[in-house]
Structure 1
Amino acid sequence: MRPHTDGLDTLAPVDGTDRAGAQPVAGFLPERRGVVAQQPDWPDVQAVALVEDQLTSMAPLTADHEIEALAGGLAMAAQGRALVFQGGDCAEQFVDARRDLVRRKIDHLQGLSAGMRASTQLPVVTIGRMAGQYGKPRSSPTEMSRSGELIASYRGDAVNSFEQDTAARVPDPTRLLTAYRCAATILDELRQSWSGRDPLERVYASHELLLMPYECPLVREGARGTYAGSTHFGWIGERTRGLDGAHLEFARSVINPVGIKLGPSATPDDAVAISRRLNPDGVAGRLTFIVRAGVGRVEDMLSPIVDAVAADGRPVVWICDPMHGNGYVHDGVKTRALTSIVDEITAFVRVMQAARQWPAGLHLEVTPDPVTECVARVEGAHTFTDYRSTCDPRLNAEQSAEVVSRFLALL
């Protein structure tokens, strides 16, 4: 089967030597033990099975010792001895798996983390939304094209094309193979950026643990246990964090540190149950709660959750995602306002400090490019002269630096 390349002629080969000891885990199918939400409607299930077989035979993209190094940094954050910065694209695109572009993104993340480190004199764990952020959950299976045609929703480059065409929106499982190859290229560049750096100063890879036909075949057995070989750190979104879901079961089954998005529907019971399920032994750094409530709801929602989790006693890394609860549409364009983003961060820090818990960091959608996707404030006219995101709006370099600075001032 020839993988879909979306115009990519060549991609770097995968060097599996560093991960040669990892073995596929036969029969690793947690989706059979839970509800599988937000999966594409693949038109050919046999084609999906063939792709899964191919992924199973490939080298894992990450190694368990890399995952352990990241977990050590997150453990420090859970104990209030480090900060966390997670950032990158809303949705990666295959055509951006170029070393020059990847290096610009890495440099941007390292620069923001360096500012946090200099301001606080604390280690900063840096995690990129990269090397696998090719799948997106959607609130509706269909959307309206610019021409007024009802087409299938774009679910990320690993599933279908952003091109607004009926045929291009049909889910294609061979795109999962292209996602793997692009992720391998990006991870190779990430590892090159690690040269001479302490493990706490590296940029690690992360993406949403969403597409089960991609995640399950890349699970491996290493020296340190069963791990997700697709990434260093994965998170589970607001739409897929159900206790009866396959995504939570997947995260429970691997040793990777994992993040859980907590949105407006989250309750104290939800958070405690997730903590007990994913971290029964109370290992510091194993679980990160990524709060994405929205500026008008964060304090009322978060205070009882933090109190309940603290009373339960298991350590958690708390970070704020001030982006996903504050989106709105202006003249048909999705955007976010810096005032709302900063106000949610302020409320998040206030809640954490009142509960005597550590506000460990931020989860932002950012780009080093001079895009005009987010605006200064909700009020007034907006001009989107350079909008490149295929999904949600990102902060540009100047805006992201301002947001991080405002967070640091609160500490």
Structure 2
Amino acid sequence: MKEPAQEGHIGSTRIAPPRPAPLPGPAGAVDAPLPAAQQPQWPDPAERDAVVAELRAAPQLVFAEECDRLRERLAAVARGEAFLLQGGDCAETFGQTSADAISGKLRTLLQMAVVLTYAASMPVVKVGRMAGQYAKPRSRPTETRDGVTLPVYRGDAVNGLEFTAAARRPDPRRMRRMYDASTTTLNLVRALTQGGFADLRQVHAWNRGFVADSPAAGRYEELADGIDRTLLFMHACGVEPNGVQTAEFFVSHEGLLLDYERALTRTDERSGLPYATSGHLVWVGERTRRPDGAHIDFLSRIRNPVAVKIGPDTRPDDILGYLDRLDPHREPGRLTFVARMGAERVRDRLPALVTKAVEAGARAAWVCDPMHGNTYQTPSGHKTRRFDVILDEVQGFFEVHQELGTHAGGIHVEFTGNDVTECIGGGSAVGVEDLPRRYETACDPRLNHSQSLDLAFRVAEMLGG
């Protein structure tokens, strides 16, 4: 088995003997079963137990020191001193662990980050939805086609996308495949971010090529020229090469499969505290954020930075509950709220939640997910999102924070480095009629490479305005 690399900003520490963490609760507490939503019904519990035992003995994917470093970066976001860019696939698949697929996503995120760093005049914390985003919550347990009903696809970590009884059978061995695929992804990300691939000058050259080819070139030219002048000034001042050749990068995913997450939780030798070593940042989603549920309980017991996605039905008292469970000491960098309100509701629903958090002494980061609240289905049956609506939710998110005097801390988007046709609009406009041409997502529609950079330049205008 190949162990994770140990060089660079992710993976720069020794591998300690794996010790599963006890996930301690309050002193004297006795664990009781808690409701755990969206968990697979594994047909063979013994097989599940065998896979969990393998994962408990496997090396950690990330390290406690790295998670602590991300907490420091997110603390800067919470204080208004940095901006978070988090993004990647809706659902990673085992078939997309190729070098081209991984480097394409990383390249897209690095390109977006350069634009946002210049516009915001502050550090951009780069976090990928990578190396663990293999499981998805679903609204229904089954899917029916032509009179045949089978279990719904829950991500490659659980079952297969093919609509057959064999593929849709939940298979716990897939959790081990998720671990191996995540190891492959992390190894390549480490190598790329510490090599010439992440060189700031090369990333900007890619952006220059995008601007030259974009129908919106005139709109973006001034910003690209500004980055040119900045790089020339840095060169004239001798600020190179080390400062621009590498990139600090972290990985994150939804902590959906509790069997997997618990098996990869380890006790840190320095502090004796438990960390989820499946990823640097773990979040709970809209369907699993029940305050008395198993997912919130799990996040409350680990020392990683954690996040909660909140939708338009979230109440101010819910915010207070999450703060008390996940961040009782109000530590900057510990908790991030990812708002997924929808463009039509963000301006009305978000202010009360942010206000409640401020009144409760929260020092959390606030991030906008403009994707999940704006999904709809076309007559052809394709789920899609409109670029202009995505942009409108980001604009509304910024407006709310500006009015409240709080910090709009970042964006969380689903994208790919490929030229797919899954979302409508953008500079190189994708129309409804184009959706079948390259609709490749395993779950929800993603921005393609060009649309992602369009979004970065448009958000940069908001930050610079």
TM-score, normalised via structure 1 length = 0.92
Q: 1:374 aligns with which of 403, 408, 423?
A: 423
The offset of 1:144, in angstroms, is 2.4
Cα displacement string for residues 222-277 of structure 1 (whole angstroms, at most 9, x for unaligned residues) = 12421001110111000101111111111110110011000121111001110121
1:409 and 2:461 aligned: yes
- 1:75-130: CA deviation from partner (whole Å, max 9, x where unpaired): 10000000000000000001111233212221221111111112222100011000
Match of 1:217 among 260, 263, 266: 263
Q: Percent identity?
A: 39
Which 5+ residue runs of structure 2 have no aligned equivalent? 7-12, 195-241
* Amino acid across the alignment from 1:243: P
1:316-355 equivalent positions in 2, closer than 5 A = 316-330=364-378, 331-355=380-404
CA distance in 2, matches of 1:115, 1:379: 23
The answer to whether the Cα contact below 8 Å between 1:218 and 1:229 also exists between their aligned partners in 2 is yes
In structure 2, what is the Cα distance between the partners aligned to 1:357 and 1:113? Answer: 22
The counterpart of 2:15, out of the listed 12, 19, 22, is: 19
Report the counterpart of residue 85 of structure 2 in structure 1.
85
**Map 1:124-143 → 2, pairs under 5 A:** 124-143=124-143
**1:174 is the counterpart of 2:142:** no
**Matching of residues 6-405 of structure 1 within 5 Å:** 12-14=2-4, 18-26=14-22, 32-145=32-145, 147-195=146-194, 201-222=247-268, 223-224=270-271, 225-330=273-378, 331-376=380-425, 381-384=432-435, 385-405=437-457
Deviation at 1:287, TM superposition (A): 0.5
Which is further off, 190-199 or 245-254? Answer: 190-199
Query: TM-score scaled by structure 2?
Result: 0.82
Cα distance per residue 1:179-204 (max 9 Å; x no partner): 00000111111222342679994221
Contact 2:127–2:252 (8 Å) recurs in 1: yes
CA distance in 2, matches of 1:311, 1:198: 40
* CA 31–229 in structure 1, closer or farther in 2 if over 3 Å, else same: farther
CA contact (8 A) 2:23 2:301 kept: no
Distance of 1:299 and 1:341 partners within structure 2: 14
2: CA distance between counterparts of 1:76 and 1:41?
Answer: 41
Point out the more displaced range, 333-342 or 104-113: 104-113
Instruction: Determine the C-alpha separation between the residues in 1 that align with 2:258 and 2:246.
Output: 30
CA RMSD of aligned residues (A): 2.3
| Structure 1 residue 379 displacement after superposition | 12
> Which one-letter code corresponds to 2:453 in the other structure?
A
Matching residue of 1:5: none
Structure 1 spans left out of the alignment, 5+ residues: 1-10
Structure 1's 381 and 24: CA in aligned 2 closer, same or farther, altered over 3 A?
closer
Structure 1 window deviating more from structure 2 (190-199 vs 254-263): it is: 190-199
